[in-house]
């Protein structure tokens, strides 16, 4: 067995195969997933101090966070109009976001009575288009921590995606981070959209603006408060 594959397997053993189940399956088949140069540079720590050595992989582990797009100019401009600065920020979803959505909105038996469709793994692929060209956006909502919450609605083939993200601005996190997501069975009106944006009454909607519709490359206007 070549050294890269050996340390690759050693790494997966240390992680107990819980973080990378798909990669673990490929590795069992003998695939050199990570590549020789990367693994060789960390093999000593990964082998001799397996748990402390795993910190080397933290930045490499892109499964913790995904960039799904950059804030569009029309969104930046409209957000600025209501006092929110998101210029240059990226839309981000995390492993925790997916875990939350899967747990809260991934069970068909729970979603069906609420007029919703359970979220499946491939549904996350809609999110780049949801934030790029949504049908409607609610700006100005705030949660109990005082963070700005941006809400998006977009019709897809099987229903309407509602997606919410929080604006995080700090030295550590400076991004639009996904908070939750649901899929309504049918077209969603403003009443349902506002209910989603309120997070069951927990968020302040007193200063919101709704904009839309947004076509690709288009520039939407405010149409209601």
Q: Measured between alpha carbons, how far is 141 from 52 in angstroms, rounded to an integer? A: 42
Q: Measured between alpha carbons, how far is 98 from 137 in angstroms, rounded to an integer? A: 21
Q: What would the pLDDT profile of 103-124 be if each residue is shown by its tens digit?
A: 999 999 999 999 999 999 999 9
The answer to whether 130 and 154 have CB atoms below 8 angstroms apart is: yes
What token pair was written down for 143?
């949660």
**Shared-domain flag, residues 155 and 197:** yes
Q: Sort strands 222-224 and 148-156 into parallel, antiparallel or unpaired.
A: unpaired
**Shared-domain flag, residues 201 and 165:** yes
Per-residue pLDDT at 97 exceeds 80: yes
- Highest mean pLDDT of the ranges 15-19, 173-177, 217-221: 173-177
Higher per-residue confidence, 15 vs 69: 69
Domain count, the chain: 2
Q: Measured between alpha carbons, how far is 23 from 7 in angstroms, rounded to an integer? A: 14
Mean pLDDT of 55-70: 62
Confidence of residue 42 (pLDDT cuts 50, 70, 90): very low
The vertex-133 CA angle with 216 and 79, nearest 5°, equals: 115
**Shared-domain flag, residues 81 and 166:** yes
The answer to whether 220 and 78 have CB atoms below 8 angstroms apart is: yes
**Shared-domain flag, residues 77 and 136:** yes
For 7, the domain range is 3-60
Mean pLDDT of 7-22: 53
pLDDT of residue 192: 92
**Shared-domain flag, residues 120 and 190:** yes
Q: Measured between alpha carbons, how far is 141 from 125 in angstroms, rounded to an integer? A: 25
Q: Kindly report the pTM of this predicted structure.
A: 0.70
Q: How many CB atoms lie within 10 A of CB 20?
A: 16
**Shared-domain flag, residues 131 and 47:** no
Higher per-residue confidence, 225 vs 165: 165
Q: What would the pLDDT profile of 183-201 be if each residue is shown by its tens digit?
A: 999 887 889 999 999 999 9
**Shared-domain flag, residues 143 and 213:** yes
């Amino acid at each position: 067995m070549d050294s890269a594959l050996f340390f690759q397997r050693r790494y997966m053993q240390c992680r107990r195969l819980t973080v990378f189940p798909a990669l673990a399956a490929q590795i069992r088949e003998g695939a050199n997933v990570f590549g020789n140069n990367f693994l060789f540079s960390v093999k000593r720590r990964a082998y001799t101090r397996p748990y402390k050595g795993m910190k080397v992989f933290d930045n490499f582990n892109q499964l913790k966070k995904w960039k799904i797009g950059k804030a569009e100019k029309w969104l930046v401009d409209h957000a600025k109009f209501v006092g929110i600065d998101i210029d240059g920020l990226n839309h981000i979803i995390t492993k925790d976001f997916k875990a939350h959505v899967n747990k809260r909105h991934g069970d068909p038996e729970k979603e069906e009575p609420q007029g919703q469709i359970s979220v499946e793994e491939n549904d996350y692929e809609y999110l780049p288009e949801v934030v790029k060209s949504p049908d409607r956006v609610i700006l100005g909502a705030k949660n109990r921590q005082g963070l700005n919450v941006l809400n998006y609605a977009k019709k897809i083939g099987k229903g309407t995606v509602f997606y919410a993200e929080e604006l995080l601005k700090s030295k550590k996190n400076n991004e639009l981070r996904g908070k939750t997501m649901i899929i309504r069975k049918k077209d969603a009106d403003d009443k349902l959209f506002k209910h989603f944006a309120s997070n069951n009454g927990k968020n302040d909607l007193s200063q919101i603006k709704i904009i839309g519709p947004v076509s690709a490359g288009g520039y939407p206007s405010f149409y209601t408060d």
